[in-house]
Amino acid sequence: MHELGIVFHIIKEVKKVAQENNCSKVSKVVMNIGEVSTVVPYYLEDCWNWAVAKEEGLQDCKLEIRMLDAVTWCDGCKSEYPTVAHGKTCPHCGSGNTWLLRGNEIEIQEIEAI
């Protein structure tokens, strides 16, 4: 359900950009999806395929998903570590004073259109 809402937002934005660039057909959309963005890539693809079939100019438009690693910053020891493996607690110093640097992206990178 969550992915469907995201797909509607992507479609809205892509149609706007296509129109601004005088394109009538979009053949591919490239998305950057962060590892901890809460988006499940294959759900996103399923929702995408279902939703674009009904959108003029977007039928058969492919969705390419590029996954981005999540990285957390530790303020205790001023270093970075991979979020998924260690969560909120820094593996170097044990501090909980940490925050996400990147990895929650749900971003449209580019589109291919004619």
Partner 1 sequence: MQEFYYLYHRIINPDRQMDEVKVIEIKKSIFEENGHEADQLREELKRKGVFLLNLMSSPGSGKTTTLIATINELKDKLKVAVMEADIDSDVDALKIKEATGIETIQLHTGGMCHLDAEMTRQGLDNLPLEGLDLAILENVGNLVCPAEFDTGAVRNAMILSVPEGHDKPLKYPLMFSICDLVLINKTDVLPYFDFDMDKCREYIHLRNPRARVIPICARTGEGIPEFAQWLLDSVKDWKTN
Alpha-carbon torsion (77, 79, 85, 88), positive or negative: positive
- Find all residues with CB under 8 Å of 10, minimum gap 6, and list them: 29, 31, 48, 108
Residue that has been written with the tokens 């593996």 in this structure: 91
Nearer to partner 1, 38 or 77 (CB): 38
Min dist. Cβ of residue 85 to partner 1 (A): 18
Min dist. Cβ of residue 73 to partner 1 (A): 16
Determine the Cα–Cα distance for residues 114 and 106; give it in Å rounded to an integer: 24
- Find all residues with CB under 8 Å of 53, minimum gap 6, and list them: 59
Nearer to partner 1, 14 or 90 (CB): 14
Nearer to partner 1, 1 or 85 (CB): 1
Min dist. Cβ of residue 79 to partner 1 (A): 21
**Chain residues in the site for partner 1 (CB under 8 A):** 1-2, 4-6, 8-10, 12-14, 17-18, 21, 23, 27, 38, 105-114
